Structure 1
Amino acid sequence: MPRTTLPAALVLGGAGLIPFLGLSALVILGQPLAGLAPRPLLAAYGAVIASFLGGLRWGAAAASPEGRGADYGVSVIPSLIAWAALFAPAPWDLRVLGALVLAWGLVDQDLPRRGLVPAWLGRLRLVLSGVAGLTLLAAGFWGTV
């Protein structure tokens, strides 16, 4: 990441990947976490993060002088899809969430191009969404049900 990336964003963003990596590994290995099934924990965390990603667009729209209504509408899509994914049977819950997180990393690339967020945030989002989405997909394809 370039020097203009805020260190806190790098550290906190990276820390946010720990549950994705750990829980996905447990799902794939079929191992519980302190007696709890890791799949619903991973799905819940994925849904929360997907909602957070929508909130990023909402915040960018609110901070923008023009505050385009379309951005507000688009910003609720991840929350709605993530909520629906929680009702999907395994393995589709994690597959939908993985595809959503990956896709949303790309969807949000218009924000830095439009000057609504710093360029470094667009690059960071690609990396974070890539890792998070791929771990969800890996657990959804190779994990135990």
Structure 2
Amino acid sequence: MHRAAPPAALILGAAGLIPFLGLSALVILGQAPFGIAPRPLLAGYGAVIASFLGGLRWGAAAASPEGRGADYAVAVVPSLIAWAALFAPGPWDLRALGALALAWGLIDQDLPRRGLVPAWLGQLRLVLSGVAGLALLAAGFLGTA
């Protein structure tokens, strides 16, 4: 039986896109409200969310009766890539984080297939990772360095 995503997951997931969309727009427009550069804020937020995505896989592995060691190893990859991206010069920081978000949305599709997370989470992840990844890539390609 497929159950629908809980409203809280939908609302909080959508709210989590606001910084991606808002900061990406500021980067693209070359705006720095209140004298705060949006690029490092966007990169930092992207890195934090990438770590959150790794935590999702770690939690799924911990909750699984099989608890495969490979899942734990894969779970740390987004954090490591995101941390390295923070050291990359602009625009490569945002491009790397955007590619990571898009790729990880696809990589994590094995979790619902294996029954480690509900099907709705896999679908929600595709949408959220897609929007976040495209926002980061847009800022990385269209924004000012």
TM-score over 0.5 for the pair = yes
Hey, what's the Cα distance between the residues in 2 that align with 1:104 and 1:142?
Answer: 23
1:4-48 CA deviation, whole Å, 9 max, x = no partner? 111000000000000000000000000013210000000000000
Between the aligned partners of 2:33 and 2:54, the Cα distance in structure 1 is 29
- Equivalent-residue separation in structure 2 for 1:37 and 1:82 (angstroms): 19
Measure, in 1, the Cα distance between the counterparts of 2:24 and 2:76.
26
Give the whole-Å Cα distance in 1 for the aligned partners of 2:116 and 2:33: 40
Q: Percent identity?
A: 85
Gaps of 5+ in 2: none
Q: Is 1:102 matched up with 2:102?
A: yes
Match of 1:14 in 2: 14
1:65-144 alignment runs, 5 A limit: 65-144=65-144
How many Å separate the matches in 1 of 2:47 and 2:111? 22
Q: CA RMSD in A?
A: 0.9
**How far 1:3 moved relative to its partner?**
6.1
Q: Quote the residue 2:33 is aligned against.
A: 33
**CA distance in 2: counterparts of 1:95 and 1:71, whole angstroms:** 26
Please give the alpha-carbon distance, in whole angstroms, between the structure 2 residues aligned to 1:22 and 1:65.
40
- Count of paired positions: 144
Structure 1 stretches of 4+ moved >6 Å? none
* 2:89 counterpart SS class: coil
Normalized against structure 1, the TM-score is what?
Answer: 0.98
